[in-house]
Structures are given as structure tokens and as C-alpha cells.
Amino acid sequence: MTTQIETQPITELTPITEILERNALLYGSDVSLVELSPETEEKRRVTWKDFELIEPPSHPIGLRRSTTWKKFNELANRFANLLLSRGVKKGDKVAILLMNCLEWLPIYFGILKAGAVAVPLNFRYASDEIKYCLDLSDSTYLVFGPEFIGRIEAICDQLDNIKSLFFVGENCPSFAEPLHSLTLYTSNENPGIKLTSEDEAAIYFSSGTTGFPKAILHPHRSLTSAAFTEQNHHSQTRQDVFLCIPPLYHTGAKMHWFGSFLVGGKAVLLRGVKPQTILHAVSEERCTIVWLLVPWAQDILDAIESNEVNLDDYILSQWRLMHIGAQPVPPSLIKRWKKYFPLHEYDTNYGLSESIGPGCVHLGVENIHKVGAIGKPGFRWQARIVDENHNPVKQGEVGELAVSGPGVMREYYHDPEATKATLADGWLFTGDMACEDEDGFIFLVDRKKDVIITGGENLYPVQIEDFLRRHDDIKDVAVIGLPDPRLGEIAAAIVELKPDRNTTEEQLVEFCNALPRYKRPRKFIFAPVPRNTTGKIEKPKLREKYCGKSLVARQNEL
């Protein structure tokens, strides 16, 4: 393997695992990953003992753990060899249910090195959603952390396809196996599984408005292409330090990190989103690139303007790039940002899990004058705007955005109908409505699908509607997104009560406490729910009534 890496360059057809092998060979003693945990009780997460550990008060943020490229690679090899010793075969599915932590990426790459398919799970999933995704993806192994003991225990007797549950952390529950103890005795050498760019690599989950998620299958080609796309867009070097705050189960955060991964740059995993914590991480770790969600950027600006934060208290001169994804960006936000950070480059990225996350369309750091647009096709990507028959519309007209490029998914796993509806002749039809201006920049107009994006997280209206319909006083309900200056959108429930019922908003708020916090409607509107002759809710009418304009148009005016 070493000879092969020394003689063959990394290309977009190289399996993503070979980049890790190359980094370990060339930069073995350099720090690859850092984890910062502001809450000191996170010490319980310490598992693999060869991570470097700095505890409070020695470190100003809290707990700091780090590892080198050599150790990163060895830990991935250990997990790969453990899986192989359990009979894992090429193409088998191994799920990950972890909060961001230093173990996450070595586990992910260990799965890939074994020739298996990594299946990251949303850490917000309830027990029934976890089971659904494990079943849909044909997962046979699950790696999980201490935050999920209760949720896994509730369903462990129902997981018929799961052969082993591996636990990351101390005090392993009786129904699982301690990962650290198991890997102490496995080889740290590369397992030698031959991989190609077209081998299956990962399943990510997404969903439209039909409830539970779809399983999105990507080959190694998608992952490696994301690294090249991101590095082309933002010119990462080995001296750059990438601050990663969003969850690693998302394609977005991980694929942005892949640009640094490609060149051997350090990444910092931050468990915390308070403005002071973010700025302290940038300062202490000398971060040069930070990927933010709109709410986090707004919180930083609000803290500066309220004097809660004094920028002179931090070392920020090395911070060169701030970029945002996952939701539309109000131009007023970037205008405010440039006031306090005039030297920052800025970029925004558009992407879907089906297109391996960010980068199929991006603004470009040289195009800040076009803030409000999502940009132009990314590196080695194409985009077009089409009508219902997939014919291109005229410039300036609204149609559905379609993209084509090296990161398009292979399929929706076990869902040929959805695959056929989304993929055609190499094009991915995004379901997002857009238009193109005279300079070729693409602007989102509205979403064809009803997904609500709040603070970068997808909410699926059908799930919330189904829950609310359990209330005895509700006759009908529709959930739509309303513009919000901080979160992008909030979920609003239009509730039609049964005759002679007097349920109040306060009572519905209490009823919704049974939902995960991020799924709870932020607003209730008592009004009739319009339906068409086929019984479908007329959500365009509701959005027109309560939003007045498309969501993006409203946000661009903020």
C-alpha cells in the first residue's frame, strides 16, 4: 500500500481512504483532529487512550483532545480489522449514531477501509426513526455513544438485523460491547481491502414531505469528488485550520472538511455554538476557515453589538474565510458581517445530500456583490433550470433547478420509484424552484417540496401534522414555514379545530412537548385548512396568505 501511495497521485477516482493513508505517510506526526468540549463532563467520552488529552483548567475552553494523522489512520485500521474479524463483507452496512467527537471520523474511515458502507444517523432521531433507518439501510452493525443509551435500549430487542452494538464511551451498557476494549487487540495495519471509486461508500438520509427519510447511496467517487470540489472553491492548504461545528452526520460539514482533508490540514471539532465559544476556538486553535449557519453568525454579530463580546480579546487575524450553507442567507447579514470582519472572504454554498452536500452550486469568494444568489455551478458541476417537461426555461423565468456532476447519488436505496422521479440522464432534479439572472447567477425562488429548513435542520411537515392530528380537538392541520430573520424559517401550524372546541395555543404548546424540541411548531394559527378537490392541502395558498411572498424573496429584503 505504501509503495502504491508513493507512486500514484491522488485523483478524483481515488477511493477516499487512500487520502487518509497518504496523510498518515506524509504528515504522520502532525495534528489531524482536535475536539473541544466546553462542558467538562464530556470527559466520559474518552475511549481510545492514545488521544492527547488536556483537561480544564489547563485549557480555557474546557476539554481538549487531539490526535495525529498517524494515530487517526491506525485507529481507522483497528476498527476496520475488528469489523472484518466479525465477518463484515464488502458492501455490508455499518451505522454510526454519535455526537461530534474525536472518535467519529476514525470510525467512519474504519468502516470504509473494511469495504463496508458507512451509515451516519441524525442524532436527533427518536427510537422509531433510528429503527426505521437501520432497517431501510440493511445495517448489520451499529456504533453509538452514551447520549443514545435510552433510545437504543428501547428498541434493541427489535433490531433483528443488527449483529453487534458497539459502544463508544465508558460504562458500557449490558446490551452492547465496549469498542475501545475490542480494538485494543486488533491490528493497526491497513486491512488491504481493494476499493474502487465506484464501490459503495456511504448512505445518508434525507426526506421530502412523506415522513420518514430516504436512504441516499453514494460511491467512493462522490466522496473524493467533494474533496476536490471544496478545495478548488476555497484553496485550502496544509496550513489552514478548519473549524467544524455542524454535526458530522450531515454531508455538509463533513464534505467541507474534505477540502482540508485532501491537503492534510488540521480540523477542529467544536461542541458548542455560543459566540464566545466559537471565537475562543478560532483564537486558541488559530482557525483560518469557519463554516457557519445563519443563526450562529447572527448570534456572533448580536454579541458584538451588545458588547457581550470584545473582538480585541481574541486572536482573529488569521481567520480568512467565513462561509455559510444549508439555508438562504439574508444580504443584510453579510453587510453587517463585513462591518466587523472587513478582511474576510465570504462564500455561500448550495447542495443536497443527493449531490453529496455543498458545492454543486456556489457563490464564489469573488462574487460577494451577488449576495442573495446561491451562485453558479461548482467545480466540474453543471446546472440548468427546467420546466415540468425537463426543458430549459428562458433566462429570468422560474423553473426547477437540476444539477449534474461527479457527486450525484447512485440511487435512493430500496426506492426505485423515488430514484426514477429524481434522476434522469445523469441529472438530479432538486425540487427547488429557481431563476437565473442576466449574469448567469442562480437565485432560489421557493421550494417545490414542502421541507422546512430551520437553522440548517430539515423539518418534515407531514410528521408534525400527523402528531398534531392525535389531539382530540383538532379537525385538520397544515404545517408551513414562515420567514424568520435568525433561523431562516420557523414551523407554523395552521390548526382547524373541531366545532365547539376551544383549545388554546398554550395547550397546543404543552401538547407538543412530546415532540423533539426542534420539531415543535414555533407558531400556531387558528384558521380553516384549504384542500383541493383531490384532498391535498393547498399549501401554496397558505404560504401566500401568511408569507405574502416566497420565503427567499422575503429573506433577501431583511
Write out the chain's pLDDT in tens, 558 residues. Answer: 444 545 468 898 999 999 999 999 999 999 999 999 886 544 445 556 667 776 666 666 778 999 999 999 999 999 999 999 999 999 999 999 999 999 999 999 999 999 999 999 999 888 999 999 999 999 999 999 999 999 999 999 999 999 999 999 989 999 999 999 999 889 999 999 999 999 999 999 985 434 578 999 999 999 999 999 999 999 999 999 999 998 999 888 889 999 999 999 999 999 888 999 999 999 999 999 999 888 788 889 989 999 999 999 999 999 999 988 766 677 878 999 999 999 999 999 889 899 997 789 999 999 999 988 999 999 999 999 999 899 999 999 988 999 999 999 999 999 999 999 999 999 999 988 889 999 999 988 766 667 788 887 878 787 788 789 889 899 889 999 998 888 888 999 999 998 888 999 999 999 999 998 888 999 999 999 987 644 567 887 888 888 865 544 444 444
**CATH T-level fold of 2-242:** Rossmann fold (3.40.50)
CATH homologous superfamily for the domain 452-556: ANL, C-terminal domain (3.30.300.30)
In whole angstroms, give the CA distance from residue 119 to residue 203: 5
Sequence ranges of the chain with CATH classification 3.30.300.30: 452-556
pLDDT at position 454: 85
pLDDT at position 554: 44
Name residues whose C-beta falls within 8 Å of residue 96's C-beta, 6 or more positions apart in sequence: 104, 107, 108, 111, 118, 119, 120, 121, 142, 143, 144, 249
Asked if omega into 57 is within 30° of 0 (cis), the reply is yes
Length of the chain as a residue count: 558
Name residues whose C-beta falls within 8 Å of residue 324's C-beta, 6 or more positions apart in sequence: 291, 292, 293, 294, 297, 346, 347, 348, 349
In whole angstroms, give the CA distance from residue 509 to residue 365: 43
In whole angstroms, give the CA distance from residue 123 to residue 144: 10
pLDDT at position 272: 86
Nearest Cα residue to 10 out of 26, 28, 34, 31: 26
Q: Are 412 and 217 in contact (CB under 8 A)?
A: yes
Phi-psi region of 420 (alpha: psi -120 to 50; beta: other; left: phi over 0): alpha
Backbone CA torsion sign across 180, 186, 189, 191: negative
pLDDT at position 43: 46
Q: Are 207 and 234 in contact (CB under 8 A)?
A: no
pLDDT at position 1: 45
pLDDT at position 555: 44
Name residues whose C-beta falls within 8 Å of residue 425's C-beta, 6 or more positions apart in sequence: none
Sequence ranges of the chain with CATH classification 3.40.50.12780: 2-242
Rg (CA), the chain: 23
The predicted model scores a pTM of: 0.84
Phi-psi region of 299 (alpha: psi -120 to 50; beta: other; left: phi over 0): alpha
pLDDT at position 44: 47
pLDDT at position 460: 74
